[in-house]
A and B are shown apart, each in its own frame.
Chain A
Amino acid sequence: QLQLQESGPGLVKPSETLSLTCTVSGGSISSTFYYWGWIRQPPGKGLEWIGSIYYSGITYYNPSLESRVTISVDTSKNQFSLKLTSVTAADTAVYYCARPAVTGFPYNWFDPWGQGTLVTVSS
């Protein structure tokens, strides 16, 4: 059964870079043809798609974050990662990694999701 697990610092200072990793178990990133995604949810608010990456490195980003976001993949570790630069308090959120339901297609719903990790931006 495929499982995703986010990891990374829970506290980041303003203006610094948020870095998170999603480790995939129960399946291989490189042998399946999915666009792996990052989604975030500020406390008490709704969901925002950050971006998605194909195993080959092709990326799609939300234009609202594109200037600050980099998503990368490390197939040797079966992981994909998120970097968000110049963070502010508005970037405080639970960050989820997720796999889309349909292969080879960036336009997808997500299933399954990781449990999420809360990242707080504060000095």
Chain B
Amino acid sequence: DIVMTQSPDSLAVSLGERATINCKSSQSVLHRPSNMNHLAWYQQKPRQPPKVLIYWASTRDSGVPDRFSGSGSGTDFTLTISNLQAEDAAVYYCQQYYKTPLTFGGGTKVEIK
């Protein structure tokens, strides 16, 4: 299985500041023939299902504010939330879809300071 390790477990960020979440995979999720990283990011708020924010490591889903950005390749990935808003308080998960079993990171809780 590909193990997804997120860091930190939680962070508190002031409104308008930047939040950075890291995700490391135990093996590369870069599909070399297509040069695409099989990595998605989700946001989950209490009592709601996860909502996809980013896929292919850096492609924002439709309607996702541009303050959310994804970067990285191979085994190391980052989700950055710029200009943090109150509604961004949530838990964030990364997921690899390079191979089955599909696996998720343990989650990072973002709180407003």
Contact = CB atoms under 8 A, between A and B. Distances in A.
A62 B103 CA distance: 9
Contact of B49 (A63, A108, A114): A114
Interface string B1-37: 1000000000000000000000000000000000000
Contacts of B95: 47, 109
Interface of B, helix, strand, loop or mixed by DSSP:
loop
Interface residues of A, number: 22
A32 interface: no
A101 B52 contact: yes
A110 B97 CA distance: 10
Interface of A, helix, strand, loop or mixed by DSSP:
loop
Contacts of B51: 111, 113
Contact of B101 (A46, A63, A101, A110): A63
A48 B104 CA distance: 7
A116 B52 contact: no
A113 to B, nearest CB: 4
B93 A46 contact: yes
Interface of A: 37, 46-49, 60, 62-64, 96, 98, 101, 106-111, 113-116
Given A47-B107, A49-B102, A63-B1, 14 more contacts: A46-B93, A46-B105, A47-B95, A49-B101, A96-B49, A101-B52, A107-B97, A107-B99, A107-B102, A108-B97, A109-B52, A110-B50, A111-B61, A114-B49
